[in-house]
């Protein structure tokens, strides 16, 4: 039996999605709404081999230098720098990894660190607010905001766009409008 993978992102689904494979995607409270309030996390199911999610992750790793350039020298109006990173789940579940967004990114003593910005569902031993180390070579997305617009965050956009318009909340619509 294959294990599923949990991925944090920030969506609210009123109906179950059409794909129920071995890949579970969670939505995370990282990105900010127009009012500055963090969105609530809910569950979205995505097939384990979703080509677009895999492409987004590969693109994020290939363009991480752009993220770090802005993180190290933020331009006017740039903030909310975050990366999405997968942790191995050590609980007895059919979820193999859970992806969470990390904020407050720093580089210290040759390692990257970030603070978990949401409440992990399947991870034990770490919780929201914990500082953890991560490998930049293994991230699955990155994002920041510039003057209230989201730069990066392609997995957020992709997952929100999968929700039928009639099922989207006002907050989800506002978030989609934050992308260029």
**Residue pLDDT, tens place only, 24-62:** 344 333 333 333 444 444 555 555 568 999 999 999 999
Helices (H), 17-63: 51-62
Residue 10 has pLDDT above 70, yes or no: no
pLDDT over 90 for what percent of the chain?
58
CA 160 to chain centre: 12
pLDDT band for position 124 (50/70/90)? confident
What's phi and psi for 53, nearest 5 deg?
-60, -40
Q: How far apart are CA 66 and CA 105, in angstroms?
A: 14
**Residue pLDDT, tens place only, 68-104:** 999 999 999 999 999 999 888 876 777 778 889 999 9
User: In this predicted structure, what is the pLDDT of residue 77?
Assistant: 97
What's phi and psi for 83, nearest 5 deg?
-125, 155
Q: What is the dihedral of CA 150, 130, 122, 63, to 10 degrees?
A: 40
Tell me the average pLDDT of the chain: 78
Query: How far lies 43's CA from each of 23, 58, 86, 103, in Å?
Result: 11, 23, 16, 21
Strand partners, 4: 95
Average pLDDT over residues 9-20: 30
Residue 107 has pLDDT above 70, yes or no: yes
Q: How far apart are CA 171 and CA 29, in angstroms?
A: 12
* Coil, helix or strand at residue 41: coil
CB 128 within 8 A of CB 120: yes
Q: Of the candidates 155, 163, 127, which has an alpha carbon nearest to the alpha carbon of residue 52?
A: 155
Residue given tokens 């730069």 in the structure block: 151
CA atoms lying within 13 Å on the CB side of residue 131: 8
User: In this predicted structure, what is the pLDDT of residue 81?
Assistant: 98
């Amino acid at each position: 039996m294959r294990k599923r993978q949990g991925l944090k992102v920030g969506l609210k689904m009123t109906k179950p999605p059409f794909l129920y494979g071995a890949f579970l995607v969670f939505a995370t409270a990282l990105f900010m709404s127009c009012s500055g309030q963090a969105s609530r996390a809910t569950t979205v199911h995505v097939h384990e081999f979703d080509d677009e999610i895999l492409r987004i992750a590969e693109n994020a790793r290939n363009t991480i230098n752009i993220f770090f350039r802005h993180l190290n020298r933020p331009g006017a109006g740039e903030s909310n720098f975050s990366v999405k990173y997968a942790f191995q789940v050590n609980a007895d579940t059919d979820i193999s990894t859970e992806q969470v967004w990390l904020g407050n990114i720093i580089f210290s003593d040759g390692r990257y660190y970030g603070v978990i910005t949401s409440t992990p569902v399947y991870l034990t031993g770490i919780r929201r607010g914990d500082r953890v180390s991560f490998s930049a070579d293994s991230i699955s997305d990155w994002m920041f905001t510039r003057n209230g617009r989201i730069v990066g965050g392609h997995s957020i956009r992709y997952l929100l766009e999968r929700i039928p318009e009639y099922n989207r909340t006002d907050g989800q619509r506002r978030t989609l409008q934050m992308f260029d």
